[in-house]
């Protein structure tokens, strides 16, 4: 079985099904099609109607067999949580569908 990796922020959605505007990459050396592969330390950003409604995300579990610079690569099987400024967690993040040209075989 293989999982598509994340290279495009619009492939991430938050619990309200809003698409991410961008993610802040922390590893620019590993790329696919000139786009950085997302790793566990990257921060996805979701636009909101005000700064309070803006959601940021963190990855709690990523690929364990494939790493970039020692950090797990985000793939379709990764688990993330979105956060707002108030009151806290906004729910799980979803990857739909990811980059099918770069796959991680398990």
User: Does the pLDDT of residue 105 top 70, yes or no?
Assistant: no
Contact 93, 11 (CB under 8 A): no
- The CATH number of whichever domain residue 81 belongs to comes to 2.60.200
Segment 37-56 shows an average pLDDT of 76
Domain membership flag for residue 106: no
- 48-62 confidence digits (pLDDT tens): 665 556 678 888 888
102 Rama sector, left if φ>0, alpha if ψ -120 to 50, beta otherwise: beta
pTM, to two decimals: 0.67
In a domain, 105, yes or no: no
Number of domains in the chain: 1
Query: Which residues constitute the domain of residue 34?
Result: 2-91
pLDDT of residue 30: 78
pLDDT in tens, 52-97: 566 788 888 887 788 888 888 888 888 888 877 766 555 667 666 5
For residue 104, being part of any structural domain is answered with: no
């Amino acid at each position: 079985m293989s999982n598509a990796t994340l290279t495009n922020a619009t492939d991430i959605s938050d619990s309200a099904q809003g698409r991410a505007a961008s993610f802040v990459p922390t590893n620019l050396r590993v790329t696919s099609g000139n786009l950085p592969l997302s790793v566990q330390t990257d921060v996805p950003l979701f636009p909101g109607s005000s700064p309070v409604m803006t959601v940021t995300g963190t990855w709690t579990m990523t690929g364990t067999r494939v790493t970039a610079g020692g950090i797990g690569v985000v793939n379709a099987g990764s688990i993330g949580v979105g956060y707002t400024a108030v009151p806290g967690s906004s729910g799980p993040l979803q990857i739909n569908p990811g980059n099918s040209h770069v796959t991680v075989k398990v």
